[in-house]
Amino acid sequence: MYQRFSNRLIINAELITVTSLHIGAGQGSFKPSTVKAPLLKDAFGQPYIPGSSIKGVLRSFLESLDLNNAKSCYMGERCSKPFENGTLRKEHINKIKKISHGNIDAYAAEDMAAKACMACRLFGSKVMAGKVKISDAVLNSDHILKTEIRTGNAIDRDTHTAAGSALFDIETIPSGTNFILRIVGENLTKKESIIFSKLIQYFGEGELLLGGHHRSGLGQICLQNVHIDIAKRQVGEFPEHKKVVIEDITDIAAIIEELMGDAYANEPEVRITC
């Protein structure tokens, strides 16, 4: 799938927390002297948003749309099943050898991609790498961020009242916090580019919630100061770069389509139909 460079789409933006945000550190980071649900932090003690968390939100929403009848391909399970072990992959390649004398590995990868759902093509699965890379979002400031501690009480679902003394506390990132976000998509086909740009638009408008405790009002974000950088293949030359700043996130899909021009990667072809 990456035998030939076609395009690279780079999105740099400011991720702003509209409401408080909680990205948990997990039980492995539990310390008796801290809150029960601490934030995930870097080596300098500052919270950040893992790229995997953002990727998970985008992928889950895309899978829920079921754009190409993926039949609920949860995290690549359906798309990976035909090639989930070495024996099946070897049989797959042997079938391709019978019908082609070209680059067998490239044909096998193309066949897998053609049969995969859009979520697997963009974000990857057990048997194929995704085309989208999302870096960890770090604080857009040199100042030390002061986090919030929220205290709550568990609710008894039968009586709809507080469940005894089941108190808990959550460490959160306050609203208005500014993070630096970078997303890169490589060798996108036209269909992949359109779906990906609309996905970013939906995410940037704050329609997808990050982190945990959504029912407590946490997790809403928005994207601002969005910069688009598109590198397109030039015959016999280094890639041509086109950059633009987007003032309205709702325009991102149309702007990316205009900047891409005809620099899309070819759609993968099904090599084996049986």
Average pLDDT score, the chain: 83
Is residue 94 in some structural domain? no
Q: Cα 166 from chain centroid? A: 35
Is residue 78 in some structural domain? no
Specify the number of domains making up the chain.
1
Is residue 194 in some structural domain? yes
Is residue 83 in some structural domain? no
Q: Cα 1 from chain centroid? A: 20
**Long-range pairs for 239-244: beta carbons < 8 A, 24 or more residues apart:** 239/5, 239/8
Phi first, then psi, for residue 137 (nearest 5°) are -90, 120
Is residue 137 in some structural domain? yes
Residue-number span of the structural domain to which 238 is assigned: 7-69+122-260
Task: pLDDT band for 33, please (50, 70, 90 cuts).
Answer: very low
Q: pLDDT tens for residues 128-181?
A: 889 999 999 999 987 788 888 877 666 666 666 666 666 678 889 999 999 999
